[in-house]
Structure 1
Amino acid sequence: MLIHYKCPNCGSDMVFDSNTGKLKCNSCGREDDIEGFSDEFITRTFSEEDGKEYHCKNCGAVIITEAETTATTCSFCGAAVVLGDRLSGTMAPSKVIPFKISKKQAEEAFKSWCKNGLLTPKGFMTADRVKKITGMYVPFWLYDLNSRVEVNAVGTKIREYTSGDYIYTETRYYDVYRDINLDYIKVPVDASEKMNDELMDKLEPYNYTDLKEFKTPYLAGYIAEKYNYDESRMLPRAKDKIENYIQSYINSTIMGYSSVRFTNKHIDTSKKNAYYTLLPVWMVYYDYEDSEHVFAMNGQTGKVVGKPPISYKKVAAWFGGIAGFSFIILKLISIAIGGGLW
């Protein structure tokens, strides 16, 4: 099922506007609230090919999409299309965080980020080689997790004291027991086979106060993917993401000892809830020295992540500067304690 949102004024396609949170017609400027948009102006067509091939309602072009695509635009006329049959049943998202950063804002923010790269080549810092910026809703699972933790350990407290001509060391041993109950809310794990996991993890945090109940108009004008991996497949990754936090919390409860030796540590983490959620990401494709560099931007907060190229000349100059500065400091210290001039 293909879904177009038609402008009640002029009949053009409407898209989701990240600035206003409404559906907007770029032809006549009309804006409509998503909640109250009339079904009268929603055009639905059906495809026997499960949406892999569809005919654009505007221009008649035949568009081929990958099986995971749930929203796209016509490459010929630019019409926004939502593939509704891929957003139903078990494939229907529960939540969505709408885009807050527009494409223009994303481009300006990326250029600003490039200029702050102290060790990047000068040509990269000008940020004038952006090839493409694509707004994409990436499928995530948000997990509510509970961890029951039972810990046994031996703690020591050591003190030294002097009595007469002797220095004594006293070591006391303590049995340590902790029974801990931890809840973690909305732990995000991306469920797309295409997306780089490390890149997606670095886009965090998202502000979950902006979570909305999913409605298809939020996707109009953007690309969206459906998940490749279900909640059971991604649960181990969610557990791995909170492991360091659990260890840090355990350590924070065992303080004041000279040393701690764990004799037993049992962690049982279980899933309480999982929400199929679409999160906004701007993908930025940048050409530099015959290579394409891929960056990602959080479509809600504007945070940019990626690995920019490094200027080895700048790195050498930076280390040279540090070495020279250290040499001057050492000489000044030498003079202060009676050393000669250089």
Structure 2
Amino acid sequence: MVIQYKCPNCGDDMAFDSESGKLSCHSCGRKDNIESFKDEFIVTTFSEDEAKEYICNNCGAVVITDTDTTATSCSFCGAGVVLGDRLSGALAPAKVIPFTVSKEEAMDAFRKWCKNGRLTPRGFMTADRIKGITGIYVPFWMYDLESAAKINAVGTKVRTYTQGEYIYTETSYYDVYRDIKMNYVKVPVDASEKMNDEMMDKLEPYDYRSLKNFKTPYLAGYFAEKYNYNDDELLSRVKSKVNSYINSYISSTITGYASVQYKNQDIETKKKHSYYVLLPIWMIYYDYDKHEHTFAMNGQTGKVVGKPPISFGKIAAWFGGVASSTFIVLKLVSYLLGGGLW
């Protein structure tokens, strides 16, 4: 099933506008609230082969998608379409964070980010080589977790004192116990097999106060995917993700010791709730030195992540500068202590 939103004024296709948060018509400029958009202007079409082919209501062309796509655009007329059957039942997201960074803002922010690269090649910083930029709603599972930790450790305190001609070191040993309960809310894990997990993690944080109940008009004009992994399949990954926070918190409760040796750590994390959500991400493809570099931008905050190319010449110059500065400092110290400056 293909869903398209038609302008009540001129009949052209409407798309979600990140600046106004409304459905917008690029032809006549009309904007409509998503909550009050009338059903009579929502056009749906069914196809015999719904797994891969859909018919564009605008021009009649066949829209070819892979099985994971839930929103796309017609390759012939550019109309944004939402594949509603892939967003229903168990595949229906509970929440969505709409795009707030427009395509133009994303490109400007990316160019500024490139210019801040101190160790990137000069051509990379100055060239305008954006090969493509795509706004994608990426599927995530969001978890509310409850963790319980029981810790048994031995802490030491060391005291050094002088008595007569001798220096004594006294080491005291203490049994340390902790029984801690922790709650974590809205921990996101991407559920798309196409996306790089490390890159998706680095795009955090999002402002979850902007989460909205899912409505298909938010996807109009953007790409979107359905999840490849359910919440149970990703549970081990989200547990691993919060482990570092748990260990950090445990360490913060055990202070004042010269050393701490853990004898036993029993940590159990359980899922309280899970939510299927779509989060906005701009994928940017940058062509440099005959290679394509992929970057991602948080579609809500504008945060950019990725690995730009490194200039080995700049690295050598940087280390040379550090070495020269160190040499000058040492010479000044030598001079102040009575030695010659050169």
What's the TM-score once normalised by structure 2's chain length?
Answer: 0.98
Structure 2 equivalent of residue 253 of structure 1: 253
Q: Comparing 214-223 with 314-323, which one deviates more in the overlay?
A: 314-323
Q: Comparing 312-321 with 97-106, which one deviates more in the overlay?
A: 312-321
Structure 1 equivalent of residue 270 of structure 2: 270
Structure 1 equivalent of residue 148 of structure 2: 148
Structure 1 equivalent of residue 242 of structure 2: 242
Structure 1 equivalent of residue 293 of structure 2: 293
Aligned pair 1:5/2:5, yes or no? yes
Separation of aligned partners in 1, 2:210 and 2:40 = 28
The alignment partner of 1:233 has SS state of coil
Q: Post-superposition shift, 1:340?
A: 1.7
Separation of aligned partners in 2, 1:167 and 1:139 = 64
Aligned pair 1:25/2:20, yes or no? no
1:4-153 to structure 2, matched below 5 A, reads 4-153=4-153
Structure 1 equivalent of residue 306 of structure 2: 306
Q: Comparing 223-232 with 167-176, which one deviates more in the overlay?
A: 167-176
Runs of 4+ residues over 6 Å off in structure 1? none
| Unaligned 5+ runs, structure 2 | none
Whether contact under 8 Å (2:134, 2:282) holds in the other structure is yes
Q: Comparing 135-144 with 125-134, which one deviates more in the overlay?
A: 125-134
Separation of aligned partners in 2, 1:250 and 1:222 = 43
Whether contact under 8 Å (1:6, 1:13) holds in the other structure is yes
Q: Post-superposition shift, 1:178?
A: 0.7
Separation of aligned partners in 2, 1:264 and 1:319 = 44
| Unaligned 5+ runs, structure 1 | none
Residues paired across the two proteins, number: 342
Separation of aligned partners in 2, 1:185 and 1:255 = 27
1:138-177 to structure 2, matched below 5 A, reads 138-177=138-177
Q: Post-superposition shift, 1:215?
A: 0.5
Separation of aligned partners in 2, 1:10 and 1:134 = 27
The alignment partner of 1:231 has SS state of coil
Percent identical across equivalent pairs?
Answer: 69
Whether contact under 8 Å (1:2, 1:51) holds in the other structure is no
Q: Post-superposition shift, 1:330?
A: 1.1
Q: Post-superposition shift, 1:127?
A: 4.1
Separation of aligned partners in 1, 2:156 and 2:312 = 49
Which amino acid is the alignment partner of residue 103 of structure 1? K
Q: Comparing 230-239 with 315-324, which one deviates more in the overlay?
A: 315-324
Structure 2 equivalent of residue 200 of structure 1: 200
Which amino acid is the alignment partner of residue 60 of structure 1? G
Which amino acid is the alignment partner of residue 132 of structure 1? G
Separation of aligned partners in 1, 2:8 and 2:258 = 73
Which amino acid is the alignment partner of residue 82 of structure 1? V
Q: Comparing 33-42 with 51-60, which one deviates more in the overlay?
A: 51-60
Which amino acid is the alignment partner of residue 265 of structure 2? K
Q: Comparing 329-338 with 5-14, which one deviates more in the overlay?
A: 329-338
Q: Deviations over 1:319-340 (max 9, x none)?
A: 1111111111111111111112
Q: Could you say if the C-alpha distance between residues 189 and 127 of structure 1 is closer, same or farther in structure 2, counting changes exceeding 3 Å?
A: farther
Whether contact under 8 Å (1:5, 1:42) holds in the other structure is yes
Whether contact under 8 Å (1:137, 1:223) holds in the other structure is yes
RMSD (Å), alpha carbons: 1.0
Q: Deviations over 1:234-256 (max 9, x none)?
A: 11110111111111111111111
Whether contact under 8 Å (2:2, 2:55) holds in the other structure is no
The alignment partner of 1:256 has SS state of coil
Separation of aligned partners in 2, 1:332 and 1:245 = 45
Which amino acid is the alignment partner of residue 245 of structure 2? Y
Q: Post-superposition shift, 1:121?
A: 1.0
